[in-house]
Chain A
Amino acid sequence: MRKKQLVAALMAGAMVCGTLAACGGGSTPAESQGGGADQTTAAQADQTTAAQSGDSAKEASGEKQVLSVTTWDNDSSPQFQAVIDAYEEKNPNVEIKIIDTSADEYNNSLGISLSAAQPDPDVIWVKDMGSMLQMADKEQLMPIDDFIAKDNFDMSIYKGAAEQLMYNGKAYALPYRNDWYVLYYNKDLFDAAGVEYPSNDMTWEEYYELAAKMTSGEGSSKVYGSHNHTWQALVTNWAVQDGKHTVVEKDYGFMKSWYEEAVALQDGGYIQDYSTLKTANIHYSSVFKNQQCAMMPMGTWFIATMMQSQAEGETDFNWGVATIPHPADTEAGYTVGALTPIAISAFTDQADLAWDFIKFASSEEAAEILADQGVFTGIPSDAAINTIASAELFPEGDSNVEALKYVHYSFDRPLDPQIEEIRTVLNEVHEMIMIHSYSVDEGLAELTERVAEIKGWN
């Protein structure tokens, strides 16, 4: 009995101490971290040195080092696993621990672990540039300028992409992937309907007509002419495709015709209903893979997904890629895209190793490995496109290779520090318009007003 009591008391004591310490840290982080940038940098430098000594000690003893990385939907795309495998092969004493989350919960769960300031994850694949800015703003990412300077790292291989990832004059990430929108189509469905495949020079009007033409069937065997996933990007992207506007504007009137067309497509039954997709939480890949749509505008990352799906025997229909349709007043080959950055957590205990990993992940060597899998990296080159096009499961035909080229590239979101906040509003209004809660005009008026409020333009 005595012993039990003692153990209980000890446990209790330990827990109380732990909590008090934790609470102290939680409520007054100012004391430990300091608000000033100098102190933060100093703290980070400390962390770095601590991590360095830790690394070397481990290396000397031959112990396996564990690096944790965060990924999304790792099962359905080879984009992360291919690089991870290659790195582990090159560095047998490093073990990579993958923290995988579904894509729609990724930013959310990453935010949770970062807010706890834990040493894991070390390396973060950042889902989009907006969340990178947000994390950089919260000082959750480690600036990598020192590493770049130390290694004399050549940023010119990214042809300007790396500069897009600067925030307040500091580099926080390397461009891992670079993707842009193309149009996917199901060759078998086009063949069955006796309709010609989508061409690489198609205006949006022509695309709408084609979508109507390709819609057939009833009930659960209905095939939709096209498929718009629930992202607002699948409407707003085309509004900024010509490069004249961005999604942060003082007046959103320029989006009117695009929203009207999207609503018309939905009401005509040529694309699946927004609310069905949203409430049933339907992933676009399962719609395309189940042959429920004839076409689908989507990012180039989906090429790798399709190739993997075919390699695993999950799907066996023929598919193709075409250039994304263009507005009537621009030429073919105008596209919209985004970078996928890879960064280091500010709270890592493995800073050097993490740097080594992200350096490898965005290197030319990794780019080749990824190109084999159908992934476009941050290093743009014709060679990479050719590698992808010659991959076994990439659709045959020159038009598919042609489709991977573009003449003009706009970012789907500008580098605006408040972009995430603005995107929340964009998403809300997008949903309201698509479910007919707002008319297009009402929605855009609200958008104009709320964005102006965020930006302080009123």
Chain B
Amino acid sequence: MNAKRKATKIILYILLIGLGITMMVPFYWMVISSLKLNKDVFSIPMRWWPETMHPENYSVIWKKLPLLIFFKNTAKLTIITTIVQLCTSCFAAYGFTKCKFVGRDLIFLMYVTTIAVPWQVYMVPQFILVSKMGLNDTHLGLILMQAFSAFGVFLIRQFYISIPDELCEAARIDGLNEFGIFRKIVFPLGKPAMATLTIFTFTNVWNDFMGPLIYLKTKELKTVQLGIRMFISQYGADYAWIMAASVCSLIPIVIVFLSCQKFFVEGVAASGIKG
């Protein structure tokens, strides 16, 4: 029995290691190719370790590509969008759960009916509208169009519902006003839901490609994704440079991901269960 268990465990490890390596091969290939000469990227037979290292590829692309600006833009968009979405969603969720007002259910119904409408359905009119406001090719336009989501309100609301009303009632008797109740009681209790929403919005905005593709035209405003894409279309046959640029585009997200891995995993798990 014990031997059998051991064998199972070994098979399990072999399986996991094999799968893990397969998953990571593209990234490994990306890194080694970024250190080769352009002409050696596709050498036959394939080389899994470059003969000579060419880290100068990185300094070449650093000169050709304003990566820092792209990172700054992406970070700015991501952080502001996440904060705006978090704040407005929490406010609204509190309004929907702990306040009674005329038309509450009707308005909430409007949110619910549109929650399932994919962005792709209304991206065209939304773009026309944002353009008419003169916000095409600005960060503000991109932030505003992404910052208000029914999903966020819904997610936080589900959490706030589970906070007993008696808690708020008690605070009201103690003389706290509504904003005070929100700030001192409900808001701190809702942190887990906020963490979920933060991770969700953060990854979405950071990795968003189509939004910036449609909205951002000026080079100085572009995001990492768009900037790398622009670089690829210009230097299509400079394989090593493309790989070096790709590696650079991944570094910040790797750092963020590794340092906040716990939240990422919990966030996905929570959003998955609640839907």
Contact = CB atoms under 8 A, between A and B. Distances in A.
B42 A113 contact: no
Contact of A286 (B39, B127, B217, B238): B238
A285 B234 CA distance: 8
A73 B231 CA distance: 10
Contact of A104 (B42, B218, B233): B233
A76 B39 CA distance: 21
A290 B238 contact: yes
A116 B217 CA distance: 13
A23 B39 contact: no
B103 to A, nearest CB: 16
Contacts of A26: 128-129, 132
B31 to A, nearest CB: 18
B232 interface: yes
Interface stretch (B74-82, B133-141, B163-171, B258-266): B133-141
B236 A19 contact: no
B177 to A, nearest CB: 7
Nearest to B214: A112
A100 interface: yes
Contact of A112 (B40, B180, B217): B217
A102 B38 CA distance: 22
B136 A287 contact: no
A458 interface: no
A101 interface: yes
A78 to B, nearest CB: 15
A286 to B, nearest CB: 4
B131 interface: yes
A115 B137 CA distance: 13
A330 interface: no
B136 A118 contact: yes
A281 interface: yes
A113 B179 contact: no
A192 B63 CA distance: 32
B235 A286 contact: yes
B217 A290 contact: no
A4 B182 CA distance: 14
A62 B86 CA distance: 45
A76 B43 CA distance: 28
A196 interface: no
B79 to A, nearest CB: 20
Nearest to B42: A220
B129 A23 contact: yes
Nearest to A119: B134
Given A75-B64, A99-B217, A281-B233, A1 B177 contact: yes
A19 B136 contact: no
Interface residues of A, number: 37
B217 A283 contact: no
Interface residues of B, number: 32
B41 A220 contact: yes
A280 B42 CA distance: 15
Given A219-B43, A221-B39, A286 B132 contact: no
A115 B121 CA distance: 20
A86 interface: no
A19 B129 contact: yes
A118 B237 contact: no
A290 B40 CA distance: 12
A268 interface: no
Contacts of B234: 73, 75-76, 102, 283, 285-286
Nearest to B43: A220
Given A109-B217, A219-B42, A220-B44, A282 B236 contact: yes
A18 B144 CA distance: 14
Interface in B114-138: 127-129, 131-134, 136-137
Nearest to B216: A109
A112 B41 CA distance: 38
B184 interface: no
B230 interface: yes
A226 to B, nearest CB: 15
A375 to B, nearest CB: 19
B216 to A, nearest CB: 9
A60 interface: no
Contacts of B236: 277, 280-283, 286-287
Nearest to B229: A102
Interface in A247-262: none
Contacts of A277: 236
Contacts of B9: none
B233 A283 contact: yes
Nearest to A106: B217
Nearest to B221: A99
Interface string A276-319: 01001111011100101000000000000000000000000000
A292 B43 CA distance: 14
B219 interface: yes
Contacts of B40: 220
A210 B214 CA distance: 44
Nearest to A26: B132
Interface of B: 38-44, 64, 127-129, 131-134, 136-137, 177, 179-180, 214, 217-219, 230, 232-238
Given A112-B214, A113-B137, A283-B233, 14 more contacts: A1-B177, A4-B179, A23-B132, A99-B137, A99-B219, A100-B218, A112-B127, A112-B217, A116-B132, A220-B39, A280-B236, A281-B233, A283-B236, A290-B238
26 contacts: A22-B129, A22-B132, A23-B129, A26-B128, A76-B234, A99-B137, A99-B218, A100-B219, A109-B217, A112-B131, A112-B136, A112-B214, A113-B131, A113-B137, A113-B217, A116-B128, A116-B134, A218-B44, A282-B236, A282-B237, A283-B233, A283-B237, A286-B237, A286-B238, A287-B237, A290-B238
The list of the 5 closest CB pairs from A to B, nearest first, reads A116-B131, A282-B236, A220-B42, A22-B132, A286-B237
